[in-house]
Amino acid sequence: MSSASEPRNRLATEKSPYLLQHAGNPVDWFPWGDEAFAKARAEDKPILVSLGYSTCHWCHVMERETFQDPSIGAYLREHFVCVKVDREERPDVDKIHMSFVQMTTGGGGWPLNVFLLPDLRPFYGGTYFPPEPRHGRPSFRTLLERIVDLWKTRRDDLTASATDLCSRLQEMVVHDPDNAFPTGPRELHGGGQTLLGEFDPVNGGFGTAPKFPRPSQPLYLLRYARRFGDTEAMQAVLHTCDRMAAGGIRDHLGGGFARYSVDERWLVPHFEKMLCDNAQLAALYLEAFLVSGDARHAAVARDILGYVANDMTHPDGGFFSAEDADSEGKEGRFYCWTHAELSALLRPEVFNVAVARFGITPQGNFVDPGDPKPEPGLNVLSLAQAEVPEADRPLLDEALAVLREARARRVRPHRDDKVLASWNGMMLGAFARAHAILGDEEFRTLAERNLAFLREQLWEPAVPASVDQPRRPGTLHHRWRDGERDSVQLLDAYAHLLAGTLELYEAALDPAHLAFAVELAEAMLERFQDPVGGGFWQSGAETPHLLVRLKEDYDGAEPSGNAVAALALLRLSAICARPDWREAAEKTLRLFAQKLHQTPQVVPFLLCALDFALQEPKRVVIVGDWLCGSTRALLSHAHSVFEPHRVILGNHGPVDPFATTLPGDEERSLAYLCSGQACQPATRDGAVVREFLRQSPPPESPY
């Protein structure tokens, strides 16, 4: 990785850690923007857009092999205009070019390298290209020379190809706003059945290697299991949670999970750790705990959140984005151990317990695929021994303490310290939910500080119209780092922060949080909603240099902005009695009805939204001072049951006006338990609250 301390190109003035990693390349990189595109038009050169992120292993490999090569830099400078993009800062730019590469090659990933005409239409793209021909891939230099030759001799063919491919890309964003509303049970049942058809009953998870957790899938299956009375689906989720938690994909010393496993057993991870993955996994393990009652699931959630609190939190409350897979130039170096290394660190009886528990062998279980001279005998820690005899517990605790201390002396992987509103919204929601379910006050404090940080650094309230200027809606910037924020407007930022703020409101009932959620919802609708066609655009209307404006629906590593927005608006509508917000959510579901019907397995979070939309939510209305102990006690009971079709609200702030009319008690808070238009008599009894939420309708038929 090149040093940002000796800049040679324009990326040296950027804030993105990924762009700064390339600031010392001999390539004449530009950031995405006017300057690069004007140069391409003026000099009539093709554009190379190279996308990645700062903790991407193969991005590092291609940089070392190719972009640090002075001859490659000179060739690129002569024949191309080169643009670097941090795909985490600009997921809208990334989505367009990833869709193009997937459409033309059938695959995708990062680094993503796409070649464009000067008018930004792509004509060729791929992912990693080696410095020499390898595994059927041309060398990067050969590819560049071929493109230069075509540019000189067959420009018309390139232009015609770009025109055809862009027409096909445009077709991807066409949806039918006149779809009938999804019938519901058919789509919900079909989605669950499809996911269960991909379930691995031995190792847990869905599909084969490489295995990604994709928490939206098991989160939906828990809702599917409840609606259709499918205990096998519930067990599939719990088994998946158990196997992931036992695997090497989990960091058994420092907490948190790596991005994915390269094998089907969750044993050998790709070691990068992402905030968005850990936020979703914390939410999954919290729901698994509510369903199972197994304290191990709660412990995994605490483990994840402890990692974020200790290693991924800015002193002022923002959450950082990621940690690298590599350290000292080697993947997994920070995390792996040899048999001999542990033998030297641990007393013999402690060593024996650690070897049995973590599956340590002299042969090892991991080889760095990118290391030309890999170190032999490296072991990724996993829970090879499911249960430790009680007599060995003190020995295991000693082993863990020694290994943590030894690992703390190693060179830690690079940390991407930018703060993204979207991923922070996810983690805010996870901390808030953990406080509500587990009762840890530290989690609430972290959630409150995070929201305060985001409002201070990334949020600008709406500005009313005046004689001098028109009204401006509230503005949520996407990225903050090192005291500066960007100007990018993304649906994901608004939708995820709205969802996280709602979780914090339902955990604490602070009316200020609900008021902010309303502001966010109004700004999101004004900036991104398509009121005619339905759904939400991924980026703001004023965003320049986008070939197409997309409505994202696919749940990859993260749930789509449309799905998150739809579910958040359905919940907020039920809390505030705003049918217009429900209508916006339903138009989104209608827009994607064909996707829900034909390929529901790729939109599991949209299935979660549909599941919520098809059943009137139960309402727990807590009347009283939101700061008092009796309110906290009732909230604890209300959050102790897995009931995805419920909302919790107080009687202060912009709530349903009906809630403000409910009579209270001067001494203790009361809970009103409401279904439809009817409420049960007020209660102070937490057991009554729990029983109300446990009651569920008979299992549905999918037909």
| Domain range annotation of the chain | 10-171, 203-416, 615-703
In this prediction, residue 665 carries a pLDDT of 87
In this prediction, residue 500 carries a pLDDT of 98
Residue 216 is which amino acid?
A: S
Q: What is the average pLDDT across 50-58?
A: 94
Give percent above pLDDT 70 in the chain.
Answer: 98
Distance, in Å, from the CA atom of 122 to the CA atom of 126, rounded to the nearest integer, reads: 11
Residue 265: what are its φ and ψ, rounded to 5°? -100, 5
Q: Classify domain 615-703 at the CATH topology level.
A: Glutaredoxin (3.40.30)
Distance, in Å, from the CA atom of 491 to the CA atom of 566, rounded to the nearest integer, reads: 12
Find, among 570, 547, 564, 566, the residue nearest to 616 by Cα: 570
Find, among 517, 591, 605, the residue nearest to 554 by Cα: 605
Evaluate if residue 559 carries a pLDDT over 80: yes
**Tokens, residue 131:** 């410095």
Higher pLDDT, 309 or 137: 309
In this prediction, residue 381 carries a pLDDT of 98
Q: 397-427, pLDDT tens digit by residue?
A: 999 999 999 999 999 999 999 999 999 999 9
DSSP output for 10-42: GGGG---HHHHHTTTSSS-EEESSHHHHHHHHH
**Tokens, residue 203:** 């190792």
Evaluate if residue 1 carries a pLDDT over 60: no
**Tokens, residue 523:** 């700004």
Please list, in sequence order, all residues whose beta carbon lies within 8 angstroms of the beta carbon of residue 348, skipping any fewer than 6 positions away.
Answer: none
Evaluate if residue 344 carries a pLDDT over 60: yes
In this prediction, residue 703 carries a pLDDT of 66
Torsion sign (Cα): 277, 213, 376, 133: negative
The one-character DSSP state at 186 is H
CA angle 589, 592, 593 (to 5 degrees): 80
Distance of CA 656 to the CA centre of its chain: 31
Q: What CATH number labels 10-171? A: 3.40.30.10
**Tokens, residue 389:** 């005899």
Q: Residue 582: in which H helix or E strand, if any?
A: helix 579-591
Distance, in Å, from the CA atom of 542 to the CA atom of 540, rounded to the nearest integer, reads: 5
Confidence of residue 468 (pLDDT cuts 50, 70, 90): confident
Q: 190-229, pLDDT tens digit by residue?
A: 999 999 999 999 999 999 999 999 999 999 999 999 999 9
* C-alpha to C-alpha distances, 548 to 109, 164, 170, nearest whole angstrom: 20, 14, 7
CA atoms within 13 A on the CB side of 353: 18
Q: What is the average pLDDT across 506-533?
A: 97
Quick check: do 10-171 and 615-703 share a fold?
yes
Residue 538 is which amino acid?
A: Q
Low-confidence winner among 167-176, 477-486, 689-698 (lowest mean pLDDT): 167-176
In this prediction, residue 677 carries a pLDDT of 80
CA atoms within 13 A on the CB side of 635: 29
Sheet-wide strand order for 618-623: 646-649, 618-623, 670-675, 678-679
Confidence of residue 3 (pLDDT cuts 50, 70, 90): very low
CB atoms within 10 A of CB 406: 16
Do the Cβ atoms of 529 and 83 come closer than 8 Å? Answer: no
3-state helix, strand, coil in the chain (%, to 5): 50, 15, 40
**Tokens, residue 573:** 């509508």
Q: What is the average pLDDT across 115-129?
A: 96
Phi/psi zone of residue 410: left (φ > 0), alpha (ψ -120 to 50 degrees), beta? Answer: beta
Distance, in Å, from the CA atom of 86 to the CA atom of 31, rounded to the nearest integer, reads: 9
Confidence of residue 134 (pLDDT cuts 50, 70, 90): confident
Residue 17 is which amino acid?
A: P
Q: What is the average pLDDT across 551-566?
A: 94
Find, among 579, 551, 550, 582, the residue nearest to 567 by Cα: 582
DSSP output for 433-464: HHHHHH--HHHHHHHHHHHHHHHHHTEE--B-
Coil, strand or helix: which one is 135?
coil
Confidence of residue 186 (pLDDT cuts 50, 70, 90): confident
Alpha helices in 154-215 (DSSP H): 155-171, 185-197
Distance of CA 650 to the CA centre of its chain: 30
**Torsion, CA 58, CA 55, CA 121, CA 102, rounded to 10:** 60
**Tokens, residue 114:** 């796409």
Torsion sign (Cα): 403, 408, 414, 417: positive
Average pLDDT of the chain is 94
Confidence of residue 676 (pLDDT cuts 50, 70, 90): confident
Higher pLDDT, 80 or 165: 80
Distance, in Å, from the CA atom of 503 to the CA atom of 648, rounded to the nearest integer, reads: 10
In this prediction, residue 470 carries a pLDDT of 84
Place of tokens 């292993």: 57
In this prediction, residue 177 carries a pLDDT of 65
Give percent above pLDDT 90 in the chain.
Answer: 85
In this prediction, residue 6 carries a pLDDT of 53
In this prediction, residue 67 carries a pLDDT of 97
Residue 40 is which amino acid?
A: A
Q: 257-270, pLDDT tens digit by residue?
A: 999 999 999 999 99
Distance, in Å, from the CA atom of 587 to the CA atom of 581, rounded to the nearest integer, reads: 10
Do the Cβ atoms of 192 and 221 come closer than 8 Å? Answer: yes
Place of tokens 């202060």: 652
Distance, in Å, from the CA atom of 378 to the CA atom of 476, rounded to the nearest integer, reads: 45
Alpha helices in 22-154 (DSSP H): 34-43, 57-62, 70-79, 91-105, 140-153
Q: 222-254, pLDDT tens digit by residue?
A: 999 999 999 999 999 999 999 999 999 999 999
Distance, in Å, from the CA atom of 256 to the CA atom of 301, rounded to the nearest integer, reads: 9
Q: What is the average pLDDT across 144-163?
A: 95
Q: What is the average pLDDT across 301-329?
A: 97
Residues 116-141: b if buried by 16+ CB within 10 A, e if exposed: bbbebbbbbbbbbbeeeeeeeebbbb
The one-character DSSP state at 313 is B
Residues 454-466: b if buried by 16+ CB within 10 A, e if exposed: bbebbbeeeeeee
Residue 294: what are its φ and ψ, rounded to 5°? -85, 120
Residue 353 is which amino acid?
A: V
Do the Cβ atoms of 458 and 311 come closer than 8 Å? Answer: no
**Tokens, residue 166:** 């862009």
Do the Cβ atoms of 550 and 95 come closer than 8 Å? Answer: yes
Higher pLDDT, 548 or 443: 443
Higher pLDDT, 172 or 543: 543
Q: What is the average pLDDT across 361-386?
A: 91
pTM value is 0.96
